[in-house]
Amino acid sequence: MSPGRLLDLRGTVLGGDLLARVLEATGGRPGRARLERVRFTGDVRLAGVTFAGDVSLDGALFERLASFFGARFEGNVSLAGARFARELSFHGVQVRGHLSLDRAVMARDALFSQAAFGHGLSCERARFDGYATFDGARIGDGATFRGARFGRTLSFRKVNGGAGFDAAHFAADAYLSATGRFSAARARADRSLDVSVSGCGVDLRRVEVAGATTLRLIDAQADLEGAVLRGPATVSGRGRSALTSLRQVEAPSLALSGLDLSACGFGGLAHPAGVRLKDCRFGLTPRGVRASMRGPMIRWLTRRGGAAGDREADAEPALGGGRLPEELRNRA
């Protein structure tokens, strides 16, 4: 063993003392590391270690603490199918390449806050049984959590990069964010779901949420077609934010504010009486109409047609106090 050279310990058993001697022999800078199916029986602490090549820990078992805090990875890292019996920490870790945790099982808390993944993060069908946080992470090519399960609270706040949670299951509260494309199509949330996105498209088609739903858009466009939102739901927008579809949505209580609804489809909306509007714009005239309603949205939404045409001059550009423009009242 020497610095920068291949480290191949596949299928071995490493205790804490033996691991420390191995890292000392490499000068804290191993090259490519082949550590598939290694069983780590002691604490794993890799602070100050730089891996100069790709690292494979597929199928590894970590029986105690696994802390990559303070480590640096110059290539890709694969932990596919790895099992973590205790806490896992990637807090502040720099991975120049891609990190894979596909099918990994994390039995306790998993910390990825302030980490950086230059070429993305993959956690497809991973299982997070404890609290998981990715707050402040930077994900260069985006993150995918397709089919992942989160047993306790997930905090994915202030993340820089896109994220996909398609078909994921959130058994507890989930707080999600993204600055690239965001998707949680067919995801299921047993409690509350809180999503904040900026400057991207948002796919929430056929999402199911048992608790409260909060969606905050900044210069973003969201599609909620087929969503089932059983608790109180709020969708708010800033800048050039829009909803593109509320078709087939089931939401007994849905508040919309600050949104462009001019291209939004409403066909099959299950509970139009439960929708509240504030400062939303409709494309009923060339200038559009802004509407605010204290009362429920009436059933014209499911059958509204095209522009109002020649009566544009009669429409008010902004409305409050529960009044609808004449064009909309005629469609009721």
More confident residue, 307 or 85: 85
pTM recorded for the entire structure: 0.86
Residue-level pLDDT at 157: 96
* Model pLDDT for residues 201-221, shown as the tens digit of each residue: 999 999 999 999 999 999 999
Tell me: pLDDT of 272 over 70. Answer: yes
- How far apart CA 235 and CA 241 sit, in angstroms, is 10
* Model pLDDT for residues 284-314, shown as the tens digit of each residue: 544 545 555 444 555 444 444 433 333 332 3
**What string of H, E and C letters represents the secondary structure of the chain?**
CCCCCCEECCCCEECHHHHHHHHHHCCCCCCCEECCCCEECCCEECCCCEECCCEECCCCEECCCEECCCCEECCCEECCCCEECCCEECCCCEECCCEECCCCEECCCEECCCCEECCCEECCCCEECCCEECCCCEECCCEECCCCEECCCEEECCCECCEECCCCEECCCEEEEECCCEECCCCEECCCEEEEEECCEEECCCCEECCCEEEEEECCEEECCCCEECCCEEEEEECCCEEEECCCCECCCEEEECCECCCCECCCCCCHHHEEEEEEEECCCCCCEEEEECCCCCHHHHHCCCCCHHHHHHCCCECCCCCCCHHHHCCC
Residue-level pLDDT at 180: 85
How many C-beta neighbours within 10 Å does residue 312 have? Answer: 14
Tell me: pLDDT of 319 over 80. Answer: no
Residue-level pLDDT at 296: 52
Answer for the pair 128, 147: CB distance below 8 angstroms, yes or no. no
Express as a percent the part of the chain with pLDDT over 70. Answer: 85
Mean local confidence (pLDDT), 142-158: 97
Tell me: pLDDT of 92 over 50. Answer: yes
Residue-level pLDDT at 108: 97
Residue-level pLDDT at 193: 98
Mean local confidence (pLDDT), 221-241: 97
Of 104-108, 179-183, 244-248, the poorest mean pLDDT is in: 179-183
